[in-house]
Structure 1
Amino acid sequence: MTSFAELGIDQDIVDTLAAKGIVDSFPIQEQTIPLSLPGQDVIGQAKTGTGKTFGFGIPVVQRLGLNPEPGVKALIVVPTRELAVQVYEDMDLLTSGRSTSVVAIYGGKAYEGQIDQLKAGAQIVVGTPGRLIDLAGQRLLDLSHATEVVLDEADKMLDLGFLPDIEKIFQRVPEKRHTQLFSATMPGPIIALARRFMVNPIHIRATDPDEGLTQANIRHIVYRAHALDKVEIVARILQAEGRGKTVIFTRTKRAAQKLVDELNDRGFSAAAVHGDMGQEQRERSMASFKAGKKDVLIATDVAARGIDVDDVTHVINHTIPEDEKAYLHRVGRTGRAGRTGIAVTFVDWDDLHKWALINRALDFGQPEPTETYSSSPHLYTDLAIPAGTKGRLTKAPITAAVRTTEGESERRPRRRRPAEDGAAPAAAAEGAGTHDGEGREHHDGKPAPARRRRRRRPSGQAPQGA
């Protein structure tokens, strides 16, 4: 490995990274930084989790200098809000020893704070296309001096339909600029985009010679699972030996919320990130996951590109991704920064055709997923789940208890209705006074309709037989 100090990077940036324990560069960084520093347009292609942010971020910060003039000098465009926050944090780290200011511009947050930072002279803007165009249209964001332009996760922008917005943004930046484009995959429209807006770019594809389409340090496990049994299987996987932070992907927002509620009820520490949540809620969930306060994150694909956490050990596809690209981006949350990881994918009976396409595209050699249930012995052996593990960490809540003087808890007695004739209630036989399973009796053992008629009887009217 080559250290950052050997790549011609300014010493203050090297020291900042070293203070965080980051000394050696990844292949994509080693190959792109020496080209970008002098101003060469670069297309960087590498798998998720291989250090692309520092690959383009270090040249941007260094080329702006120690004390850049106020005003937007660099623009980094990203496809999702979560990724905007992640890239902002990395850029903020790189500029911590300089006067350079970074601002994140994305939807779901109040305009005022972002506008105030722009007016204060922020030099680096990290933003999503929609909010960038919005503020530029209101003349609150001036991109006419942004000589450093980066497109991050360009293939995701293509998937989300952002290419027309990217063209609008390029119309607002100077013609003479330094442009970098980074992506995990490079479909045809992205290559066409690069040809239009970049000047003689050098295409760097950083892969290991013995590495296929999928990371060699990720173990891929595929199960054909029944929808009603998935939560039970997930709960057992979350108790596997060596299981660290875990990301679970669902297809819909409703499924994500339902799963997080279910896992929390079972005693796990889970958070969610999906489109029905407010931006601040999503950011709190991500922050608690990164800090380790929550060790399970349930997300829809909206967060697949914004989860940049090195110590994720497991990724679980609760529902199969739509295609091989989505699969790679999901499972790329684990096995990051040279670590190993496990990716478990559930395939419903109705989705076997989708798995066949993914299996063929990625050359997995697993055309038939193994039929698996929460009680299947191979589930335990495949994932190092201790024998006898059940799908719940905590017992169901019990009724309220009262604290005695000795500090022991005892169950609070249930209040009884006084007998109508004033006599003390007789002891009930075992099993009396409860539901009989057919809905005929209430807690006092008397038919419910009679009780309702008695409650509706006008005041002062004597009961029959009195």
Structure 2
Amino acid sequence: MLFHTLPLPESLSQGIADAGFTECTPIQALTLPLSLAGKDVAGQGQTGTGKTAAFLITLFDRLLRVDNGGNQPRALILAPTRELVVQIEHDARLLGLHCGFSILAVYGGVDYDKQRETLRAGVDIVIGTPGRLIDYLKQGVCRLDHVQMLVIDEADRMFDLGFIGDLRYILRRLPSYDRRQNLMFSATLNHRVMELAYEFMNMPEQVKVNRDHLTADNIEEVLYHVAGKEKFPLLLGLLRREAMERVMIFVNTKREGERLQALMTANECTSRMISGDVPQEKRLRIMRDFKAGKLPILIATDVASRGLHIEGVSHVINYDLPEDSEDYVHRIGRTARAGATGKAISLADERGALSLEDIETYIGHSIPTQWAEDELLATEYKRAAKVPRSGGKGGPASRAGEGAGKKRPHRRRR
């Protein structure tokens, strides 16, 4: 399906053309005929398949065809993390460049007063995380009773991060489900996600793409079994041997990320690390540098594993195998985006190997294994100074805010 064949307003078609979009991805081709006809849709697709454009095109089309409702928000997009909100805002401004709508991103960590005053003055589209938006709602900064379009992105992650209570608080302040259009997109449409859909959506149509194949065909996967003490020598050897232009390295805890960055710095490998408790302005600055190609290596916890579209990521490296099988899919989905090819390398030490069987069962195939021969290991490297402990011993305190695990003892607002 080609975008120019869709019955879209001219201003929206111009933004799509400016973005360089010509042919719909599979999930867009399945979703748009339904959503543009006004139906509610619950969509599932593997990461990087174009879900964001699918709901943004529907949103702009609806707002362009429906009368303005005053200075209160007309559309609301909810996402679980700040990084994803920033990404959606970027895509919305690109696709909606000629539509004339005011767009505001609402999320924690930056610009509290500026966001509040902009929201109070009136905007058409709000893209936000639940916690910051609830703060403004309780202050009476805005109302949501004029919302004509609701989008919930990464709904399963809302559950994972303990935001479901916040989400329900917000949804109960919208017009009734039959007086607005509702779109929900998620990497998985499990029972709890669909229960939420049937509670707050109007008989949603389910759309699923590649339900039996969770990892993209254009990602080359490889697994190295390696002793824990040899993980860094192997990583450094691979970085030196392979042509890695832009690399994301995933770790499970902030503590491990700090230790790895110290080792990389000692060995003259330029890298930066982001985790859930890195100040938001710093996180955004690091992400901008990485997207612009100024930073070749990004070390990250699972705060960066979902939703972010970064062109040109040649390699994803699981320095730690994730404890949650779904996170493996989201991590390696940072490469091979928009039809490109990429490589995903996983290092399984004694501890990480415990997660391997569950991961391979979830993705439906064995990860091809290569042996970490001696010639792959870097024999000459510098050891870093000891990293001071900043959040315990790699347990819950060092994971706070990262989205590293499925079960959490309490909610952390973003």
Whether the 8 Å contact between 1:80 and 1:303 is mirrored in structure 2 is no
Q: Which residue of the partner structure matches residue 7 of structure 2?
A: 8
Q: 1:201 aligns with which of 204, 212, 215?
A: 204
User: Runs of 4+ in structure 1 displaced over 6 angstroms?
Assistant: 389-392
Q: What letter is aligned with 2:331?
A: R
User: Structure 2 vs 1, CA of residues 50 and 240 (structure 1 numbering), >3 Å: closer, same or farther?
Assistant: farther
Q: Which residue of the partner structure matches residue 63 of structure 2?
A: 64
Whether the 8 Å contact between 1:92 and 1:101 is mirrored in structure 2 is no
Q: Which residue of the partner structure matches residue 443 of structure 1?
A: none
Count of residue pairs brought into register by the alignment: 379
Q: Which residue of the partner structure matches residue 36 of structure 1?
A: 35
- Where do 1:10-409 residues align within 5 Å? 10-65=9-64, 68=68, 69-175=70-176, 176-207=179-210, 212-366=213-367, 372=372, 375-376=374-375
Whether the 8 Å contact between 2:19 and 2:94 is mirrored in structure 1 is no
Report deviation, 1:359. 1.7
Whether the 8 Å contact between 1:218 and 1:334 is mirrored in structure 2 is yes
Report deviation, 1:240. 4.2
Whether the 8 Å contact between 2:9 and 2:64 is mirrored in structure 1 is no
Tell me the secondary structure at the aligned position of residue 351 of structure 2.
helix
Q: Which moved more, 1:245-254 or 1:349-358?
A: 349-358
User: Structure 2 vs 1, CA of residues 236 and 120 (structure 1 numbering), >3 Å: closer, same or farther?
Assistant: farther
The whole-number CA distance in structure 2 between the counterparts of 1:310 and 1:391 is 33
The whole-number CA distance in structure 2 between the counterparts of 1:239 and 1:12 is 48
Q: What letter is aligned with 1:258?
A: R
Q: Which runs of 5+ in 1 are unaligned?
A: 380-388, 397-466
The whole-number CA distance in structure 1 between the counterparts of 2:10 and 2:379 is 53
Report deviation, 1:272. 1.7
Whether the 8 Å contact between 2:77 and 2:128 is mirrored in structure 1 is yes
Whether the 8 Å contact between 2:321 and 2:346 is mirrored in structure 1 is yes
Please identify the structure whose Cα radius of gyration is greater: 1
User: Structure 2 vs 1, CA of residues 316 and 20 (structure 1 numbering), >3 Å: closer, same or farther?
Assistant: same
Whether the 8 Å contact between 1:8 and 1:34 is mirrored in structure 2 is no
Q: Deviations over 1:257-294 (max 9, x none)?
A: 22223223322232221123100000000000111111
Q: Which residue of the partner structure matches residue 411 of structure 2?
A: none
The whole-number CA distance in structure 2 between the counterparts of 1:195 and 1:391 is 58
Tell me the secondary structure at the aligned position of residue 272 of structure 2.
strand
The whole-number CA distance in structure 1 between the counterparts of 2:334 and 2:380 is 24
Tell me the secondary structure at the aligned position of residue 258 of structure 1.
helix
Whether the 8 Å contact between 1:271 and 1:289 is mirrored in structure 2 is no
Tell me the secondary structure at the aligned position of residue 64 of structure 1.
helix
Tell me the secondary structure at the aligned position of residue 28 of structure 1.
helix
Tell me the secondary structure at the aligned position of residue 320 of structure 1.
coil
Q: Which runs of 5+ in 2 are unaligned?
A: 385-414
TM-score (norm 2): 0.86
Report deviation, 1:139. 1.1
Report deviation, 1:306. 4.3
Q: Deviations over 1:357-400 (max 9, x none)?
A: 21222232359x65526x345x8xxxxxxxxx8776x9x9xxxx
The whole-number CA distance in structure 1 between the counterparts of 2:323 and 2:335 is 19
Report deviation, 1:157. 0.9
User: Structure 2 vs 1, CA of residues 139 and 354 (structure 1 numbering), >3 Å: closer, same or farther?
Assistant: same
The whole-number CA distance in structure 2 between the counterparts of 1:355 and 1:143 is 45
Q: What letter is aligned with 1:149?
A: L
Q: Deviations over 1:113-143 (max 9, x none)?
A: 1112212321111111111111111111311
Q: What letter is aligned with 1:110?
A: D
Q: What RMSD in Å do the two structures reach over aligned CA positions?
A: 2.2
Tell me the secondary structure at the aligned position of residue 174 of structure 2.
coil
Tell me the secondary structure at the aligned position of residue 261 of structure 1.
helix
